[in-house]
C-alpha cells in the first residue's frame, strides 16, 4: 500500500491527497483548438495538467504547448498589480497602483483624447488572444472609435478575405468525407495537432493526400502520396498551373461552372499563362508533378483543401495566391459539396460551430455610421470593404506620420511590437511617440515596458468564459483557481472601463456574463446550464451542412455565384487591384547577387507559439536557442556547421542566430521562428512589404544572405562558460530572471534537440536508424557561445 | 495486476515532445537545476533517395532483469512486484552512480543532492487506473503502456522495447 507521501509525489487525485481534478480549457494556441483540460488542483494551486477525456474536441489529448500550461500560468514574470510607469519608456521601471487609480487614469486620459482629437484618436488593439474580442470591439465602438484592430491583421484574415471575395462566407474543408485531401502548407503535427490524428485515420481509410509545402515536413514524411515543393510565395503560380492542366484536359465540372461559377472564361484564359514551359522556373516544381497533381484531382473526388492561415498569406501576393488555390475547388465542383469545401458561417470568435449567436449584432449595433474611417482604410481598401475594422499593420505608420489623422492613445490587450515588420524602427518607435499607451497582459513583456499603465490579466484557468466548438458544442467554463495576485479577466477589465468612462452602453456596463446572455439568446441553454455541465454541451439548434443548399440558394456575392472574377474588386478600378486571382512574383527587388537566399519567418515548432512560450523553460529545453534552419548543402558551401552562429541579413537589417542543418529545408531557404527577443526575425522584414489586397506583411519571402560569424579565438577559449548574453544584451534563454533554462548539466542538451543529436545521458547505441548521420563540418552539441563572440554580431548591423 | 511494458514506436512518433513536457509536469522537473530530465526526445535524419527521419522518445527501458537493480549497493532500486516496472526509493542513495554505469541506456539522473532519480513508469498512476503521463498525452499513440501478454501477442513492428532488449542482452 502506497504511503500518503508516495501518493502525493505521484499526484494521485484522491481523498487522501486532497488533490482534485477541475475542468477548463487551454487557450495558448488558436481558438480552432482550445482543448479541454483536467487541472489537478491542490490547495488552490495547479500541480499538473492533462487532457480532459470527456471533452468532445481533444478526448484526453494535449499537445506539447498545452502540456506546459502549469509553467505558463506560473511564469515568474506574471504581472502582479496594476502598474504606473516611472522610468523612461522601455526601462521597465514601474510603481504598483490600485485598480481604482488605474481605471481613473485610463478613463480620464481616453475621454480627454476623445474630446480634443476625436474618438478615432484612441486605438483599441487585441493581440493573439481572441476569446474577448467581441467585447473589445464593442467597447471601441461604444467609445466612438472605429479603431478596433487586432493581430489578425497579419494572420488568418487574408484567407478569410479570399473566401469572402469568392463566396461571401468563410468555409472549411469537409475532410471527413473527402477522397482526396489537398493539404497546402498543412503540417498538423506541429500546429493544430488534433488534425494529425484525423489525417492518419483518413489515410488508413484510403483517402489520397497531395501535400504542398516549401519544407519536407512531418506530414510529407508520413502522409503524402504526392509532394510538391514550391518556393515560398509561388503558390499562386502553382495553383494556376494545376488549373490550366485541369482545364486543358477538360477535367473541370462544366455543369457546375455554368450554374454556379462566375468569370470562368476570363480565368481559364489567364491560367494559360502557367504551363509546361514556365511552371518550374516560376515555382521550382517540376511540371511532371503538376501533371500528377491534376491527374489525382481528376481521379479522386471529392477533394477538400486545407490552406493554412499564415504561411500562404505572409507574402506580398498572399491573398491572390489563396484565391488561386480556392479556385481549384470551384472549377472541380467541390465548393458546397459533401467532402469538398463547406460554407461555414461563424458562430463566435471566428469559430464555425453550426449554430447561430448574436455576436455579429452585438458588435454591429454599437458601430455608428458617423465614425471616421479606421486606420488602414485608405491604404488597404479591400480590407476595409470586407473587414470594416482597422488594418493594424498600418498603425505604426499612422502613429508616426499622423495622417490621415493622429492616433494619440492605444489601449492594447497583449501587444507585441515584434509582430510588426521592421519592429524596432516602426512599432517600437511608434510606442515611444504615443501620448498614452495602456497594455494589458499576463506577463511584463518587452512591449508592456513601453506602457504608461500596465494591467495584469489572468489566464483561462483563472476566469470563466464562453467557447463554441465544431459540431454544435457550447462550453462555459468555471475558474479552476482564483486569479493569481491581483490579476483580472480581460473581459472584466473592458466592462469595468465601460463603467468608469460611463459609456452609453448598459450591456457592456452589465459585465461579461450579461453580454454573453444576450449573444447566446438564440440557443436553448442558459449560461447557468452550460456552466453547470462543466463540459461542452451540444446545442439543439445545431444545423449540419446541407449539400449544395447555399450555392443553389445563391451566395451573397454580387453575382450570387462563386466569383473567380471578383465583382467587388471590379467595381473599384481606383483600388488598382485585379478582379482575377492574378499572380506576381513574391520576392523583393533587392539584388539577388547580394542577397541570394530566401528568408522565411514563422515555420512552426512544436514547442513555441508566437512569443508567449519562449519564456517557458520546459519548452525551451526542446530548442534552447533561437536557431535558423538551413540545408546541409548551404551549410557546407558557406562553412556553417550545426550550432554555429551565423548572421542573417536583409536590406532591412541583420540578426545573429545559431544554425541548424536540416534535411527538411531546400537549398536557398533560411527558416527562423519568430518572436525571439534575442533574434527578432521581424526586424528583417521591410515595413513597406505589405500585400495590397490584405495588408498582410511579407514575413515568409524576403531576400537575404547568411554568413558564418567569425570565431573569436578568445571566445573559443572560454567556450565552456554558460551563455548569458546575446547580441542585444538580453539573456539568451529569454527568462526574465536571466536564469539559463537549458538544463545542461555538462554542456549537453537537456532534452533531445530535433537535430539528430542524442540527448543528455541517452544512449548512442539505439537501433540502426538511431545512428545520427552527421553532416560534414558538424561539431558536437554547442552549448552556447560566450557573450564576447555573440556581441560581434552587432558589428554587422 | 499484470506485468506492464512501456513501449514506443519510432515510426509513429512525430517528434513533438509532448511526452517530455508531460513528464516534466508530472515529476516537477526544473530545468534551472541543470539535472537531466527523465524523458528526452530526438530526431535522426538520413538521406536516401529522399530524406528519412526517425523520431525517438527515450526514458528508462524498465529492463527485466534490470542491471541497475543489481548494481545498486544500497538497494534503492527494485522491480515493482505488481507491474515489474523499475522503481526506486532514493532515501539511502549514496550517489555512487553504479546504477548509471550499469544502465545500457543512460537513464538514471542525479538531482541537486546527488541522489538518483529516473522514470518510474508512473507505476502508482497505473495502480489507480491512469496511464503514465507520457502515454496519456502522446497525440500520435507512439507511446503505449501494455500488459506483458498484450505485448508478447502483438508488439508493434517498430518496438523500441524489442530493440532495447537486444541491446541489453549484448551488454549484460
Q: Render pLDDT for A503-532 as a digit per residue (tens, 0 to 9).
A: 999 999 999 999 999 999 999 999 999 999
Within 8 A of B61 by CB-CB distance, chain A residues are: none
pLDDT value for A244: 98
Instruction: Give the pLDDT of residue A164.
Output: 97
Q: Any bridge partners for residue A705, and if so which?
A: A649
More confident residue, A642 or A785: A642
Q: What residue in A sits closest to B160 (Cα-Cα)?
A: A767
What is the per-residue pLDDT for A725?
33
For the cut 70, the answer to whether the pLDDT of residue A549 exceeds it is yes
* Mean per-residue pLDDT, A486-490: 98
From A772, which residue of chain B is nearest by alpha-carbon distance? B44
CA B111 to chain centre: 17
pLDDT of residue A260: 98
Judge whether residue A671 has pLDDT over 70: yes
% of residues, chain A, pLDDT over 90: 87
Contact A778, A641 (CB under 8 A): yes
To the nearest whole number, what is the mean pLDDT of chain A? 90
- Which percentage of chain A shows pLDDT scores above 70? 89
CB contact under 8 A, A762 and B163: no
Closest CA to A60 of A48, A69, A68, A52: A52
pTM (2 d.p.): 0.91
- Mean pLDDT (whole number) for A30-46: 96
CA A328 vs CA A260, A294, A565: distances in Å: 14, 10, 13
The DSSP bridge partners found for residue A725 are none
A chain contacts of residue B35, beta-carbon cutoff 8 Å = 743, 745
Which whole number is the average pLDDT over A545-559? 97
Q: Which of A585 and A766 is assigned the larger pLDDT?
A: A585
CB neighbours (10 Å) of residue A781? Answer: 18
pLDDT score recorded for residue B172: 64
Per-residue pLDDT tens for A677-715?
999 999 999 999 999 999 999 999 999 999 999 765 555
State how far the Cα of A646 lies from the Cα of A628, in Å rounded to an integer.
Answer: 9
**Could you report the predicted ipTM of this complex, rounded to two decimals?**
0.96
- Secondary structure in 3-state letters for A298-328: HHCCCEEEEECCCCCCCCCCHHHHHHHHHHH
- Locate the domains of chain A by residue range: 4-73, 83-153+349-538, 171-343, 587-797
Q: Look at domain A4-73 and name its CATH class.
A: alpha beta
pLDDT at A790 over 70: no
Q: Which of B1, B45, B80, B141 to mutate to test the interface with A (most CBs of A within 10 A)?
A: B45
Q: Helix or strand or coil: residue A280?
A: helix
The pLDDT of residue A711 = 63
Question: What residues 74-133 of chain B have any CB closer than 8 A to a CB of chain A?
Answer: 100, 104-109, 122, 124-125, 127-128, 130, 133
Considering only CA atoms, which of A259, A217, A140, A214 is closest in space to residue A554?
A: A259
Closest Cα of chain A to B150: distance in Å? Answer: 23
Contact between A189 and B16 using a beta-carbon 8 Å cutoff:
yes
Helix spans in A344-446 (H): 359-364, 381-387, 395-401, 429-433
- Evaluate if residue A285 carries a pLDDT over 50: yes
Say what the pLDDT of residue A234 is.
98
- From B109, which residue of chain A is nearest by alpha-carbon distance? A761
Which residues 6+ apart lie within 8 Å of B8 measured at CB?
B56, B57, B58, B142, B143, B144, B159, B160, B161
3-state secondary structure A188-241: CCCCCCHHHHHHHHHHHCCCEEEEECCCCCHHHHHCCCEEECCCCCCHHHHHHH
Q: How confident is the model at residue A119 (pLDDT cuts 50, 70, 90)?
A: very high
**The predicted structure's pLDDT at residue B3:** 94
Q: What is the pLDDT of residue B156?
A: 66
- In this structure, of A130-139, A188-197, A264-273, A370-379, the range with the lowest mean pLDDT score is A188-197
β-pairing, A669-672 vs A597-601, is: parallel
Chain A hits for B133, Cβ within 8 Å: 48, 50
Q: Which residue of A has its CA nearest to B15?
A: A754
Could you tell me the CA-to-CA distances from A566 to A158, A324, A332, A581 in Å, in that order? 15, 12, 19, 9
Chain A neighbours among B 131-150 (CB < 8 Å)? 133, 136-140
Q: For an interface test with B, which of A769, A772, A784 has the most B Cβ atoms less than 10 Å from its Cβ?
A: A769
d(CA A571, CA A259): 23
pLDDT digit string (tens) for A707-747?
999 765 555 444 443 333 333 333 333 333 333 333 333 33
What are A437-474's pLDDT values in tens digits?
Answer: 999 999 999 999 999 999 999 999 999 999 999 999 99
Give strand pairing partners of A757.
Answer: none
User: Which residue spans within A428-524 are E strands per DSSP?
Assistant: 436-441, 453-456, 466-469, 473-476
Please tell me the predicted confidence (pLDDT) of residue B111.
94
For B51, nearest residue in chain A (alpha carbons): A663
**pLDDT for A215:** 96
Task: Pick from A754, A776, A783 the residue to mutate for testing the B interface (most B CBs within 10 Å).
Answer: A754
Query: Taking the domain A171-343, which CATH number applies?
Result: 3.40.228.10
pLDDT one digit per residue (tens) for chain B, 172 residues: 789 999 999 989 999 999 999 999 999 999 999 999 999 999 998 878 888 899 999 999 999 999 999 999 999 999 999 999 999 999 999 999 999 999 999 999 999 999 999 999 999 999 999 999 999 999 999 999 999 999 988 776 788 888 888 888 887 6
Whether residue A464 contacts residue A492, with contact meaning beta carbons closer than 8 Å, is answered with no
Bridge partners, A24 (sequence order) = A37
Nearest Cα residue in chain A from B42 = A752
Of B35, B43, B104, the CB nearest to A743: B35
Mean pLDDT in residue range A461-488: 98
**CB contact, 8 Å: B43 with chain A?**
yes
Contacts of B135 in chain A (CB under 8 A): none
Q: Is the pLDDT of residue A789 over 60?
A: no
Of A64, A200, A757, which has the smallest distance from its Cβ to B16's Cβ?
A64
Give the gap in angstroms from C-alpha A607 to the nearest C-alpha of chain B. Answer: 8
Q: Are B167 and A763 an interchain contact pair (Cβ–Cβ within 8 Å)?
A: yes
Give the chain B residue whose CA is nearest to the CA of A773.
Answer: B46
Q: Which fold has domain B4-171?
A: Alpha-Beta Plaits (3.30.70)
Characterize A302-311 residue by residue with b for buried, 16 or more Cβ atoms within 10 angstroms of its Cβ, and e for exposed: bbbbbbbbbb
CATH class of A83-153+349-538: alpha beta
CATH class, A587-797 region: mainly beta
Q: How far apart are CA A760 and CA B36, in angstroms?
A: 7
Amino acid at each position: 500500500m502506497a504511503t500518503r507521501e508516495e501518493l502525493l509525489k505521484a499526484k494521485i487525485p484522491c481523498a487522501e491527497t486532497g488533490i482534485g481534478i477541475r475542468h477548463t480549457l487551454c487557450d495558448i494556441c488558436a481558438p480552432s483548438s482550445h482543448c479541454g483540460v483536467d487541472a489537478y488542483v491542490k490547495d488552490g494551486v495547479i500541480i499538473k495538467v492533462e487532457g480532459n477525456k470527456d471533452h468532445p474536441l481533444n478526448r484526453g489529448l494535449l499537445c506539447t504547448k498545452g502540456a506546459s500550461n502549469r509553467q505558463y500560468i506560473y511564469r515568474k514574470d506574471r504581472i502582479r498589480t496594476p502598474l504606473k510607469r516611472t522610468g523612461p519608456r522601455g526601462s521597465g521601471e514601474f510603481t504598483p497602483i490600485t485598480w481604482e487609480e488605474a481605471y481613473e487614469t485610463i478613463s480620464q486620459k481616453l475621454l480627454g483624447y476623445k474630446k480634443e482629437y476625436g474618438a478615432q484618436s484612441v486605438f483599441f488593439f487585441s493581440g493573439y488572444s481572441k476569446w474577448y474580442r467581441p467585447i473589445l470591439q464593442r467597447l471601441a465602438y461604444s467609445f466612438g472609435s472605429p479603431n478596433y484592430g487586432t493581430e489578425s491583421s497579419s494572420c488568418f484574415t487574408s484567407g478569410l478575405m479570399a473566401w469572402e471575395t469568392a463566396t461571401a462566407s468563410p468555409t472549411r474543408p469537409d475532410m471527413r468525407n473527402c477522397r482526396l485531401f489537398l493539404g497546402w502548407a498543412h503540417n498538423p503535427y506541429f500546429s493544430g495537432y488534433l488534425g494529425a490524428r484525423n489525417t492518419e485515420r483518413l489515410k488508413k481509410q484510403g483517402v489520397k493526400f497531395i501535400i504542398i509545402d516549401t519544407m519536407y515536413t512531418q506530414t510529407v514524411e508520413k502522409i503524402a502520396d504526392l509532394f510538391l515543393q514550391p518556393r515560398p510565395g509561388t503558390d499562386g503560380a502553382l495553383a494556376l498551373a494545376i488549373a490550366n492542366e485541369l482545364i486543358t484536359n477538360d477535367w473541370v465540372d462544366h455543369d457546375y461552372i455554368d450554374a454556379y461559377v462566375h468569370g470562368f472564361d476570363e480565368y481559364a484564359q489567364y491560367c494559360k499563362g502557367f504551363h509546361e514551359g514556365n511552371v518550374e522556373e516560376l515555382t521550382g516544381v517540376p511540371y511532371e508533378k503538376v501533371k500528377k497533381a491534376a491527374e489525382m484531382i481528376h481521379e479522386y473526388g471529392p477533394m477538400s483543401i486545407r490552406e493554412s492561415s499564415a504561411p500562404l498569406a505572409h507574402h506580398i501576393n498572399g491573398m491572390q495566391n489563396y484565391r488561386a488555390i480556392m479556385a481549384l475547388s470551384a472549377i472541380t465542383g467541390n465548393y458546397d459539396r459533401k467532402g469538398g469545401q463547406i460554407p461555414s458561417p461563424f458562430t463566435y470568435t471566428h469559430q464555425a460551430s453550426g449554430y447561430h449567436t448574436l455576436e455579429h449584432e452585438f458588435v454591429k449595433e454599437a458601430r455608428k455610421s458617423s465614425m471616421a474611417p479606421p486606420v488602414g482604410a485608405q491604404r488597404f481598401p479591400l480590407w476595409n470593404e470586407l473587414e470594416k475594422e482597422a488594418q493594424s499593420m498600418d498603425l505604426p505608420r499612422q502613429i508616426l506620420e499622423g495622417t490621415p489623422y493622429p492616433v494619440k492613445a492605444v489601449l492594447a490587450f497583449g501587444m507585441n511590437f515584434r509582430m510588426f515588420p521592421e519592429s524596432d524602427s516602426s512599432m517600437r518607435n511608434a510606442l515611444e511617440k504615443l501620448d498614452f499607451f495602456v497594455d494589458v497582459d499576463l506577463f511584463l513583456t518587452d512591449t508592456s515596458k513601453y506602457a504608461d499603465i500596465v494591467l495584469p490579466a489572468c489566464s483561462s484557468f483563472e476566469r470563466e468564459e464562453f467557447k463554441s466548438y465544431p459540431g454544435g458544442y457550447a462550453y462555459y467554463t468555471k475558474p479552476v483557481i482564483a486569479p493569481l495576485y491581483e490579476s483580472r479577466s480581460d473581459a472584466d477589465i473592458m466592462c469595468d472601463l465601460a463603467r468608469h468612462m460611463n459609456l452609453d452602453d448598459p450591456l457592456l456596463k452589465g459585465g461579461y456574463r450579461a453580454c454573453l446572455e444576450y449573444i447566446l439568446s438564440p440557443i436553448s441553454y442558459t449560461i447557468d446550464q452550460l456552466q453547470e455541465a462543466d463540459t461542452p454541451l451540444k446545442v439543439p439548434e445545431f444545423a449540419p451542412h446541407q449539400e449544395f443548399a447555399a450555392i443553389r440558394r445563391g451566395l451573397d456575392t454580387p453575382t450570387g455565384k462563386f466569383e473567380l472574377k471578383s465583382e467587388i474588386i471590379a467595381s473599384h478600378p481606383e483600388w488598382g487591384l485585379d478582379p482575377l486571382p492574378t499572380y506576381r512574383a513574391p520576392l523583393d527587388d533587392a539584388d539577388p547577387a547580394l542577397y541570394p537566399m530566401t528568408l522565411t519567418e514563422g515555420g512552426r515548432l512544436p514547442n513555441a507559439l508566437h512569443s508567449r512560450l519562449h519564456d517557458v523553460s520546459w519548452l525551451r529545453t526542446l530548442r534552447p536557442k533561437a536557431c535558423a534552419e538551413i540545408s546541409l548543402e548551404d551549410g557546407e558551401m558557406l562553412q556553417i556547421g550545426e550550432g554555429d552562429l551565423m548572421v542573417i541579413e536583409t536590406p532591412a537589417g541583420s540578426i545573429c542566430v545559431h544554425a541548424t542543418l536540416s534535411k527538411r529545408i531546400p537549398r536557398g531557404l533560411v527558416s527562423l521562428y519568430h518572436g525571439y527577443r534575442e533574434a527578432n526575425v521581424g526586424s528583417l522584414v521591410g515595413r513597406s512589404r505589405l500585400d495590397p489586397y490584405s495588408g498582410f506583411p511579407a514575413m515568409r519571402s524576403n531576400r537575404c544572405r547568411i554568413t558564418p560569424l567569425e570565431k573569436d579565438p578568445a571566445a573559443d577559449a572560454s567556450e565552456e562558460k554558460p551563455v548569458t548574453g546575446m547580441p542585444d544584451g538580453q539573456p539568451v534563454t529569454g527568462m526574465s530572471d536571466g536564469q539559463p533554462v537549458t538544463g545542461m548539466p555538462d554542456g549537453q542538451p537537456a532534452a533531445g534537440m530535433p537535430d539528430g543529436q542524442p540527448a543528455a545521458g541517452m544512449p548512442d547505441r539505439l537501433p540502426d536508424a538511431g545512428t545520427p548521420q552527421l553532416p560534414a563540418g558538424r561539431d558536437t552539441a554547442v552549448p552556447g557561445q560566450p557573450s564576447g563572440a555573440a556581441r560581434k554580431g552587432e558589428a554587422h548591423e | 495486476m499484470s506485468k506492464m511494458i512501456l513501449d514506443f514506436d519510432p515510426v509513429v512518433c512525430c517528434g513533438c515532445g509532448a511526452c517530455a513536457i508531460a513528464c516534466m509536469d508530472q515529476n516537477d522537473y526544473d530545468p534551472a537545476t541543470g539535472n537531466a530530465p527523465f524523458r528526452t526526445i530526438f530526431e535522426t535524419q538520413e538521406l536516401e533517395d529522399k530524406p528519412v527521419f526517425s523520431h525517438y522518445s527515450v526514458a528508462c527501458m524498465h529492463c527485466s532483469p534490470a542491471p541497475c537493480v543489481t548494481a545498486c549497493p544500497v538497494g534503492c532500486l527494485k522491480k515493482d512486484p505488481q507491474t515489474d516496472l523499475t522503481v526506486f526509493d532514493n532515501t539511502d542513495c549514496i550517489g555512487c552512480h553504479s546504477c548509471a554505469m550499469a544502465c545500457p541506456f543512460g537513464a538514471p539522473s542525479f538531482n541537486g543532492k546527488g541522489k538518483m532519480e529516473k522514470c518510474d513508469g508512473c507505476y502508482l498512476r497505473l495502480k489507480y487506473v491512469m496511464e503514465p503521463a507520457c502515454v496519456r498525452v502522446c497525440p500520435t499513440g507512439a507511446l503505449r503502456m501494455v500488459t506483458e501478454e498484450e505485448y508478447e501477442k502483438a508488439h508493434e513492428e517498430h518496438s523500441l522495447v524489442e530493440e532495447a532488449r537486444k541491446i541489453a542482452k549484448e551488454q549484460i
